[in-house]
């Protein structure tokens, strides 16, 4: 079982978005979440957040997986490419929309 929580804060308007997914209780998302996290070294990404930048978003991501919790924070300019598809899907969930189609990571940070 994996639980992922995302909070996006900051930006020009200073508004926050939050979303989470628990693969034990959300089977349609379970396979996608596990695939999105496969090969991602969560322990290496956890640690000190990047310095904040004016009018930019900050992403806080917490992943509970295999009995371990990994917490990380990134400025939008430093969001790792490996996490972009997961972050984009969670942002769509936070807005109440359908998830974006699966595909390669984009070159730009999520909105």
Q: Is residue 50 part of a domain?
A: yes
Give the pLDDT score at 109. 47
Q: Is residue 46 part of a domain?
A: yes
Domain of residue 33: give its range. Answer: 2-94
Q: Is residue 7 part of a domain?
A: yes
Give the pLDDT score at 30. 79
CA dist 89 → 4, 53, 98 (Å): 11, 24, 9
Give the pLDDT score at 71. 93
pLDDT tens digits, one per residue of 2-28:
999 999 988 877 788 999 988 887 667
Regions of the chain with pLDDT less than 50: 103-109
């Amino acid at each position: 079982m994996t639980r992922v929580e995302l909070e996006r804060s900051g930006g020009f308007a200073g508004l926050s978005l939050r979303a989470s997914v628990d693969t034990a209780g959300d089977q349609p998302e379970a396979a996608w979440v596990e695939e999105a996290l496969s090969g991602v070294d969560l322990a290496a990404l956890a640690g000190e957040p990047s310095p904040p930048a004016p009018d930019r978003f900050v992403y806080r991501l917490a992943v509970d997986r295999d009995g371990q919790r990994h917490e990380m924070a990134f400025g939008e300019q430093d969001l790792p490419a490996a996490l972009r598809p997961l972050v984009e899907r969670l942002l769509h969930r936070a807005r109440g929309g359908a998830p974006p189609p699966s595909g390669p990571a984009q070159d730009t940070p999520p909105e």
